Structure 1
Amino acid sequence: MPIITKISTQKRYTARYNIFLDEQYAFSVDEDVLIRYQLKKGKHVTDLEIVQIQHADEIRKAFNAALHFLSFRMRSEKEIRDHLKKKEWDDSIIDAVLHELRKQKLTDDLEFAKAYVRTCMNMGRKGPAVIKKELMEKGVNEPFLETALMEYTQEQQIKDAIALGNKFAKRNKKLSERMLRQKVEYTLSARGFPFGIIQAAIDGIDIGKGEAEEWEAIIREANKAKRRFANFSGSAYEQKMKQALFRKGFAIDLINRFLDEDTEDTEDGE
């Protein structure tokens, strides 16, 4: 039966120890494993015990890798599992690590989900549908999802939707009022805000345009359209212009006004 003849601390990793059996280096173990198995000079170990010790050390190394991964931020169990899989740990090792993490309350998918929701709320860039989708991708189960999303109140959702809507509207003032409203609603929907929240927020978003602003907007779009339809004339040109400007969200009476004035300008030019 092999006997431990020497135990030495590793120079680079002081929490790991080299184990020598019968004067020969045999393997290394983590300090936790050393203490748990009461490894010391003069101790006899069977082949089975060596296998058990080395298996325990593999679990400990994977556990330490998980702790390092968790040191940057909270993680879901799926994130931890995926990380350890990339490190090529076996499923049995990963299962043991996750069990120990739960035992020490170092992982909790419900608390992780709540913290994730709060972080997204503070950033104010995502609605509940997008947050829920991201949490599902991180492996959080449905009951935890619903509980965590309760952190994101409707009042806060409306506030965030208004802020996002105003930011978008400010960058797209050149659009017609109808087109701007549609794009704001689409943007908020794509960000994960539900229809009811969007409708509640829309009145607080600065998408209304005065007559002068709308007139400036149609002139900009009409000048672009005129260049595209320069080869058309008469009713064909007028129809093309009406269709193009209507698709851009302008009211038909405003379109007719532009075409009337454009016709007068052309005639005056002649």
Structure 2
Amino acid sequence: MRITAREKSKDGRMVRIYLDGRYGFSIPADVYTTSHLYEKDELTEEQVDHIKQDILVQKARERAVNLLMARDRSRFEVRTRLVKLGFDEDIAERVVSDLEAIGYIDDSRFVLKYASDRIKSKALSKKALRYELEQKGIGRDLIDEVLKEFEPEEEEVALRVAKKKFGKYDLSDRAVEMKALKFLIHRGFSYETACNVLRRLQGR
């Protein structure tokens, strides 16, 4: 196949490449300037496929970086989002691996920040937090490692939750106490933690 013409898009961001008189593919202008593609050049099908693949990888990388600029995300989240946007799984995997290698994606950093933010803003139990992280594709070993750092805070988090929900109620009332106990357990706190919190609120 021979490159018979090239044409810049109106905004100048893309270059349309024509092969044997017909449209072949579009390539970002900045990539075109370094690709050494010239009119009358002969290209094999393999070379064309390789160029198209590189273009898709660059587009996927740009999408991934934009996602990460909006907020930090896990490896699983970025990969899943790219696939949903229509990129092949191989391309999505290649992009997230490249971004991991340069530190743009870091699940350890993501989990630590996510856990800290969620515990502070939503007062989540470790059980509830673990569930959320698993939904984001984080492995159990990494979750366990990070949640150890929040071990001393679990009861304090439960205390904040209980105060917010039952601070105006008389917890010496057995019915109210049982309702508060069930509420805390439902929120993912252990029975022991829930009991300790209620004792503290009751001044015992």
TM over 0.5: yes
Q: Deviations over 1:122-159 (max 9, x none)?
A: 214211000001101111001110122123232x2222
Separation in structure 2 between the aligned mates of residue 35 and residue 99 of structure 1, nearest angstrom: 26
Shift of 1:24: 5.1
Shift of 1:45: 2.8
Q: How many residues were matched structurally?
A: 204
In structure 2, the partner of 1:191 is 187
Once the two structures are aligned, what percentage of the paired residues are identical?
24
Of residues 136, 143, 146, the one that matches 1:145 is: 143
Separation in structure 2 between the aligned mates of residue 203 and residue 166 of structure 1, nearest angstrom: 12
User: Which amino acid counterpart does residue 10 of structure 2 have in structure 1?
Assistant: K
Shift of 1:64: 1.8
Q: Is the 8 A contact 1:33 1:56 kept in 2?
A: no
Q: How does 1:58-73 map to 2 (within 5 A)?
A: 58-73=56-71
User: Which amino acid counterpart does residue 32 of structure 2 have in structure 1?
Assistant: L
In structure 2, the partner of 1:177 is 173
Using structure 1 for the length normalisation, give the TM-score.
0.66
Shift of 1:190: 1.9
Separation in structure 2 between the aligned mates of residue 104 and residue 7 of structure 1, nearest angstrom: 34
Q: Deviations over 1:167-208 (max 9, x none)?
A: 21135x378711211222222222222233323322332599
Shift of 1:40: 4.5
Q: Is the 8 A contact 2:3 2:17 kept in 1?
A: no
Q: How does 1:160-171 map to 2 (within 5 A)?
A: 160-170=157-167
Q: Unpaired segments of 5 or more residues in structure 1?
A: 209-270
In structure 2, the partner of 1:243 is none
User: Which amino acid counterpart does residue 2 of structure 2 have in structure 1?
Assistant: P
In structure 2, the partner of 1:26 is 24
Decide whether aligned partners of structure 1 residues 201 and 38 sit closer, same or farther in structure 2, where only a CA change above 3 A counts.
Answer: farther
In structure 1, the partner of 2:6 is 6
Of residues 89, 92, 95, the one that matches 2:93 is: 95
In structure 2, the partner of 1:53 is 51
Separation in structure 2 between the aligned mates of residue 4 and residue 77 of structure 1, nearest angstrom: 41
Shift of 1:76: 1.3
Q: What SS does the corresponding residue of 2:6 show, helix, strand or coil?
A: strand
In structure 2, the partner of 1:204 is 200
Shift of 1:68: 2.1
**Aligned-residue RMSD, C-alpha:** 2.6
Which 4+ stretches in 1 moved above 6 angstroms?
none
Decide whether aligned partners of structure 1 residues 51 and 187 sit closer, same or farther in structure 2, where only a CA change above 3 A counts.
Answer: same
| Structure having the higher Rg | 1
Q: Unpaired segments of 5 or more residues in structure 2?
A: none
Decide whether aligned partners of structure 1 residues 194 and 80 sit closer, same or farther in structure 2, where only a CA change above 3 A counts.
Answer: same
Separation in structure 1 between the aligned mates of residue 160 and residue 10 of structure 2, nearest angstrom: 55
Of residues 95, 102, 105, the one that matches 1:104 is: 102
Greater length-normalized contact order (CA 8 Å, ≥ 6 residues apart):
2
Shift of 1:15: 3.9
